[in-house]
Structure 1
Amino acid sequence: MSNGGSLSTRAELVARAYRKTDRGLEEVATRAHRLGHWLRCALIMVNGRRTGEELSTLIGESGRDTLRELVDLGLIEPVTTGDLLTTLPAQTWPPDEVPALFLPIELARRRALRWLAVQFGTQGGPLLRRISKADGPDQLHHALVLSERYVRRAQGEQRAEQFQRDVGLRPSTH
């Protein structure tokens, strides 16, 4: 964090999880600050577990700018490191230890696009775009991990594990 509570780098904005401040909670409950529709929708998505990267994916093209605006307005704040350790999903990897995909990259991409489209329809749009645009195995792997976290939150542990097997994040049991 830099002076005034605003984030110092774009990397910090993306890597940290965010939660609503008291002012943000007040806005959701009362609309006291009269946020525009899009900012209010973005504020509602902030839950204390989603990282800036995940929120940017859900929000769309203006995700990072929208998050910065919410931070600058004092409606959201980064989760502290101690809090983050208790809210991260169980399966995370350091960037230099990301496991390889267990399927060829284009097969993994096709399976993930089909899987998410069937499960989430238009709500999966941001994830589908991220997977489609992934350039290379590292970017695709990152997009698949973000998608797996979303599946885990939306549909539970068993569906997330099925997604992992179907798209090659873990070996198939066949």
Structure 2
Amino acid sequence: MNIKLAKEGNKEAIEEILDSFKMFIIKQCNKIYIEGYDKEDLIQEGYISLMKAMEKYDEAKGPFVAYGTRAIVNNYYMMIRNRAKYNGTTSLNRSNDENIELIDIIEGNENIEEKMILKEYVKEVIEAIADMNDNDKKLIIDLQVNKISGKQLAKELGISYVALCKRKERALRKLKAKLEEK
């Protein structure tokens, strides 16, 4: 996923990013109901919010995956809040356009404590990466977040694949040490 190319208007990069978020958007659409919107409308809104996120994304703020997912979820919540002004009361047994009752859309088996712990851990990882030197930070983000292959990145950096692997191991050890300090 190359966000730089997408921001420059490269259609292949944009489609790759949109495709990588497809299942996430569909999953989010299955969780919500907004009167007047069917599933296809909600999916389209998800793609629109992702496109806006691509335009506004600043690489210095952290990985795009986190930024994009948050943008999508925030947009859906904003749509719900905006429609709430116009919605009346309803029953949880009311069916939507796909004959699914609202009660069936509500997730009830979530472990909020685990979600909060994971959220805090992700925040710590992002902070630890931000504290690293630029070379290590770029290496981890390119390999782990942007999913650039090791061979491709080694070629771009003008080093051997073995040297790249050693740099990666060293950077990950530093990251692990930073996380253990906290």
TM-score by length of 1: 0.29
Question: Greater CA radius of gyration, 1 or 2?
Answer: 2
TM-score by length of 2: 0.28
Larger % of helix: which? 2
